[in-house]
Structure formats: C-alpha cells, structure tokens
C-alpha cells in the first residue's frame, strides 16, 4: 500500500466468479515505526531479475509474505494501460503534482486496487525497475487535495510468484495468484525465498504455529 513511499496494496473487491481466500486482519501500516525491514536490498533483488507485465495481468493476486509495518491482506489486479487511461492519469498528476518528472511514453502497467487509489508503473532502464506514480486517497496536510507522489520500486517474477520491493523505504511483498497461493506457513517461506527475500525477517499471511513435541520427548 503505497503511502509516502510505501506501496499501497489495498483492498480490491473480488471480481465476479472468484472465491476469495480467508485471511486474517492485520494492522495498517504505521509510518512512525522505523523501517528496518531487512527483506534484502534493491541491488540484490534486481540482479538477473525477470519481469514481463503481460504475464501478470488479468489475474487476481494476493500477498502471502511481506516486510512492512503491516498491510491489509487483499486481492490485487494489474492491467495494461490504454492511451486514454494514461492521458487521464497524466492530466490528474500534472494538476496536483506538476513537479513530478515522468516519462509518460514509458507507462507500462496499472495497479488499481480500488477506485480511489491508482498506481501507474513507468519503466526505467532495467527489467523490473519502475517509477510508481501514485494517486492516493489521502489528502495533503489536511487540505482537500489528493495525495499524488512517486516512488522507486522493483518487480520480478520467479515461476508462479511475484516480488515487489520499494527501494525508498525497504518495504517488500511476495505475491501469488489466488489459485497458486501457498497454503502452509512453510510453503509461504519457501516461495518467498525463491524470490530472493530474507524470510527470517518477514511475516506470512498464515500464522506460524510451532509443532508440538510429544510428551514422552519432554
């Protein structure tokens, strides 16, 4: 969930015909907490990264592992941007934050988690490297002004899993399509590790329950 440099991955109502997975409610991101997430570094994360926007669109995705002060576990849909959507988004951004320097001809992907939050991913010089331009639902300093800002992100896919990392604050997320969601805590860790994340410092959407030892071993 991208707020002041944190990726805004927020609630998107499940599309018709899909059954959402049960999840637990987690605390919202607390910007006052230190950002010592230690997921990895952007330099390491982007090494030999592979990412093709066309391969992730038109599917519902969900976070299964994360490095942040808290996220709302929810479904996310990515889409390729049409010229009309880019034009409308550009008009909005240039109205409320004209100081942002954006190469609009490199717009590659939209993430629209809900009607009042839209993210446009603009390609940079390396595979999976993007400027994420965010039209947020929050208002600036109490005024009735939309929060429009940009942040540096990295994205990559490994097999059926996708990783997103915010290079400005260190937050990171491991995602899978709904039908590919890891269904155990250990599966979540293994899948996140495939993406190159430090799984010893992250959190899973599944609560870890330590295995109980038999009484005769105690």
Domain boundary assignment for the chain: 2-206
46 vs 33: which has the higher pLDDT: 46
Does the 2-206 domain belong in CATH 3.40.50?
no
Q: Partners of 76 in the beta sheet? A: 61
Residue 153 class from Cβ within 10 Å (0-12 exposed, 13-18 middle, 19+ buried)? buried
Q: What is the pLDDT of residues 159-168, one digit of tens each?
A: 999 999 999 9
Among candidate residues 34, 118, 29, the one with its CA nearest the CA of residue 76: 118
Band (41; pLDDT cuts 50, 70, 90): very high
Q: Do the bridges between strand 60-67 and strand 6-7 make them parallel or antiparallel, or are there none, so unpaired?
A: unpaired
Q: Is 211 helix (H, G, I), strand (E, B) or coil?
A: coil
For residue 2, pLDDT beyond 70: no
pLDDT of residue 33: 45
For residue 215, pLDDT beyond 70: no
User: What pTM was estimated for this model as a whole?
Assistant: 0.78
Q: What is the pLDDT of residues 147-199, one digit of tens each?
A: 899 999 999 999 999 999 999 999 999 999 999 999 999 999 999 999 999 99
pLDDT of residue 1: 46
Are the beta carbons of 8 and 113 closer than 8 angstroms? Answer: yes
Rg (CA), the chain: 18
Which residue has 């603009």 as its token pair? 122
Q: What is the pLDDT of residues 60-119, one digit of tens each?
A: 999 999 998 877 667 888 999 999 999 999 999 999 999 999 999 999 999 976 667 799
107 vs 212: which has the higher pLDDT: 107
* Region for 142 from its dihedrals, namely left if φ exceeds 0, alpha if ψ lies in -120 to 50, beta otherwise: left
CA distance to 34, 45, 47, 80, 136, per residue, from 104 (Å): 33, 25, 26, 14, 19
Q: What is the C-alpha to C-alpha distance for residues 98 and 92, in angstroms, rounded to an integer?
A: 9
Q: What is the C-alpha to C-alpha distance for residues 108 and 52, in angstroms, rounded to an integer?
A: 10
């Amino acid at each position: 969930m991208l707020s002041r440099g944190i990726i805004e991955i927020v609630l998107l109502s499940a599309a018709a015909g899909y059954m959402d997975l049960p999840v637990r409610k987690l605390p919202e991101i607390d910007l006052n907490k230190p950002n010592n997430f230690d997921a990895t570094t952007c330099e390491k994360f982007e090494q030999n990264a592979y990412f093709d926007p066309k391969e992730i669109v038109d599917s519902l995705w969900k976070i299964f592992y994360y490095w942040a002060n808290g996220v709302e576990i929810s479904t996310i849909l990515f889409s390729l941007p049409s010229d009309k959507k880019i034009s409308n988004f550009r008009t909005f951004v240039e109205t409320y934050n004209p100081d942002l320097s954006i190469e609009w001809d490199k717009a590659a992907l939209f993430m629209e988690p809900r009607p009042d939050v839209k993210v446009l991913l603009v390609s940079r010089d390396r595979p999976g490297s993007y400027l994420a331009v965010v039209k947020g639902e929050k208002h600036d300093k109490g005024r009735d002004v939309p929060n429009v800002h940009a942040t540096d992100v990295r994205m990559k896919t490994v097999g059926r899993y996708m990783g997103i990392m915010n290079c400005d604050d260190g937050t990171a997320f491991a995602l899978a399509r709904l039908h590919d969601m890891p269904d155990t805590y250990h599966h979540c860790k293994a899948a996140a590790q495939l993406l190159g994340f430090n799984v010893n410092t992250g959190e899973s959407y599944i609560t870890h329950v330590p295995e109980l030892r038999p009484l005769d071993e105690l």
